[in-house]
Structure 1
Amino acid sequence: MMTDNIRQQNRQLVEEFFTRLESMNIDYWLELWDDSGVQEMPYSPEGFPKRLEGKSAIRQQYSSLPVNYHSMQFVDRIFYETSDPAVFIVEFKGVIDVKLTGKTYNNNYCGVFTIQNSKLVHYKEYFDPIILQTAFGTKLQENFNVNE
């Protein structure tokens, strides 16, 4: 029963991850992260980070979203529970309107979320890098504060 409660609380944190990110209030979204949280993006294209270590690096990567996007939604979420109540796998689609390019960035994702002590400690995000590059073109680094 205790495991079910932990799993439910952790799933709610993952749901909140999406809700807060959609609001593009980055400071509010970062409250979900542990100070030493890590995001990995193993399929990132060249010139785009594959790993963000710590809340400050994550903030740097995401801080320009409200400036660069009209809106963002993460839809069609499918949750897969694991044997560990702290780990969730989620498939989802992103629907993002980009201001700088005038294009829509629609990608398919698979995320692996790990929560400890009610904070997100690790997030591994798989996405199609070709869709990312097509949507942003030469503005890729500008949109994501890469290398700032």
Structure 2
Amino acid sequence: MSTATDLVTHMRDYFLGHNSPEETWAEDLVIETPFAPPGHPRRFEGRQAFLDATRQERESFPVRFDEMRDVTVHDAGDTLVIEYELAATLPGTGQQESARFIAVARMREGKVAYWREYQDTRAVAEALARITG
């Protein structure tokens, strides 16, 4: 397995728009979001299925992520638990918000193969409401 540092770097670069999905996600990627909002999928199988299902949402997302900070990694062998905060800015206004996340992840051959994310959905919703008014 690649190191915890490699995985965090891959994800940070992806969140901040510095690398492509093909550089980050394994082709047979599995993503799970158990606390996804109603009407949103909670599981994606395959990188292309994930990208196709979330393309419109990503393109219309009203913020630009600036920083992945306060990262803590718990190494459980082939699985990592990562606690982090994403900070974002609304383009045009400079208004900043952040929210905390926890992810359970595995890498294979230098790419993220499994990502199970737990969001503070209330904080995310409140931040988006403040940003989009």
Q: TM-score, normalised by structure 2?
A: 0.76
Q: How far apart are 1:54 and its partner, in Å?
A: 1.2
CA deviation map 1:1-24 (0-9, x unaligned): xxxxx4xx3323312223312431
Q: Tell me what 1:55 maps to.
A: 47
Residue segments in structure 2 that go unaligned for 5+ positions in a row: none
Secondary structure of 1:78's counterpart equals strand
- The residue aligned with 2:75 is 81
1:101 Cα deviation after fit:
9.4
Shift of 1:62: 5.9
Aligned counterparts of 1:23 and 1:100: Cα–Cα separation in 2: 17
Q: Distance in 2 between matches of 1:50 and 1:103?
A: 30
Unaligned runs of 5+ in 1: 1-5, 141-148
What residue number does 2:111 align with?
119
Percent identity over the alignment? Answer: 17
Q: Which has the higher helix share?
A: 1
**Any residues of structure 2 matched to 1:134-145 within 5 Å, and which?**
134-137=126-129
Amino acid at match of 1:56: Q
Equivalent residue, structure 2, for 1:69: 63
1:111-135: CA deviation from partner (whole Å, max 9, x where unpaired): 1111223321110001111222223
> Aligned equivalents of 2:36 and 2:13: distance in 1?
23
Task: Give RMSD over aligned pairs.
Answer: 3.0
Equivalent residue for 1:146?
Answer: none
Question: Which of residues 5, 8, 13 in structure 2 aligns to 1:15?
Answer: 8
Question: Who is 2:28 aligned against?
Answer: 36
TM-score, length-scaled by structure 1: 0.69
